[in-house]
Amino acid sequence: MIKQYLKSTFLKYGYDIRRIDNHREFSITKSDNVPTVDRSLVNSIFNFIEEVPPFYGPNIRPELKISGAWNTDFLDRRKTQIRLFETVDKTAYSLLLNQMLQNELVYGIYGSAYFNQNIIGSKAPPQFIHNLEKFTYLTGLSSDSLPDGDFGGRWGVDVNGNIITLVDPYKGINAFNTAKILSYLCNGSKATYIDLGSGIGSDAIKVMRFCDIPVRAILIDLPLNLTTAFSYVSMNTDRKCVLISNSSQLREVLSNNTDESEFLFIPTIFIEELMETDIVVNLLYNHGSFSEMDYDTVRFYLQNILNGTTQALYEINSNSPVENNGGHIEVPSARFPIPYQYKLVKRNLALNSYFDHRYVENLYVKSGS
């Protein structure tokens, strides 16, 4: 009786009481297994950087310039990464890659708390437990399906002998939804989707795992992020991974019509050339990076990729004009200039309260798809 009275009283003033299930005492740990990056991958990365400089060149079109929030992020947080590229120190860079989940390579793209030795042994955040429960409840999948692989200096929460990162359950839900959209749109044939602003590639790994059809995943990002994703995905999957560094390589790789699943890593400077090929994209996926761009850049990407041959857009972005790094004011997702032929099918709050509910999910589908 008292419990019900207190609950109704709190509800009256806009508060809710939730019982957090504490019978599972999860704690933060890190893996002792630290695989060594393949030397050929490191060589591929440095060859790529020779052709595609980390900040591109001075004559790049305004929409593709690395400025604002990301320029500030890179210069402030990636000092070691930039220095090792400048000094061509492949040995030190290999060591940085081996522990990428515990160092600056994930700063700005991880979307959660960064590694701190003092966190080891502490209890898992309630939000992680809540997201893990949401993942298993919404997808019907086991938590065993969440880890990407052993590479990268894995740390997180030990669940049934598997180390699950703090962001895995949330990423898993988004990847599950992406996989289901692709499976519906492709009706059994090989899917092609673009992950624009792909981070370390964890979302793409999960999408491919959750899809019941072959997938060509095209990961597009800025060079300093793309090279990290290339290493992370290559070392955590057995699928073909190709880091694209020039136009001729782009056309050659796209002309390969294999039915096998594959990951292609393409810097943003090749967006126009990519979409001028005869490629048919089933889905454009974007999590977080549209709202980190200025309005003209968002319009540039949407006009180029949602060109009538792409079937759908699934985006999760901020819907509030808050200030980001470098004084950048985020563009609310409701203001994104979506081409008229793409119709809003659903909109809901993103499931992760790390973002204080300013993030919103939107699914747009081309008329007639």
What is d(CA 312, CA 230) in angstroms, rounded to the nearest whole number?
25
* Average confidence (pLDDT) over 250-269: 95
Which pLDDT score, from 0 to 100, does residue 325 have? 57
Question: How many domains does the chain contain in total?
Answer: 1
In-domain check, residue 14: no
**pLDDT tens readout for residues 317-338:** 988 766 555 566 778 899 999 9
In-domain check, residue 13: no
- Beta strand 283-287 pairing with 342-349: unpaired
**pLDDT tens readout for residues 59-84:** 899 899 887 777 888 999 999 999 99
In-domain check, residue 16: no
Q: Where are the alpha helices (DSSP H) in 153-197?
A: 168-186
Spatial CA neighbour of 240 closest among 219, 270, 269: 219
In-domain check, residue 1: no
Q: Is the dihedral of CA 349, 352, 353, 359 positive or negative?
A: negative
Question: What's the predicted TM-score (pTM) here?
Answer: 0.91
Residue 15 clears pLDDT 90, i.e. is over it: no
Pick from 32-41, 63-72, 216-225: least confident: 63-72
Indicate the average pLDDT of the chain: 89
CATH number at residue 194: 3.40.50.150
In-domain check, residue 104: yes
Contact 68, 182 (CB under 8 A): no
Domain that holds residue 226: 24-369
Residue 293 clears pLDDT 60, i.e. is over it: yes
In-domain check, residue 19: no
Which pLDDT score, from 0 to 100, does residue 356 have? 59
In-domain check, residue 135: yes
* Average confidence (pLDDT) over 142-153: 97
Which pLDDT score, from 0 to 100, does residue 114 have? 86
In-domain check, residue 202: yes
**pLDDT tens readout for residues 162-207:** 999 999 999 999 999 999 999 999 999 999 999 999 999 999 999 9
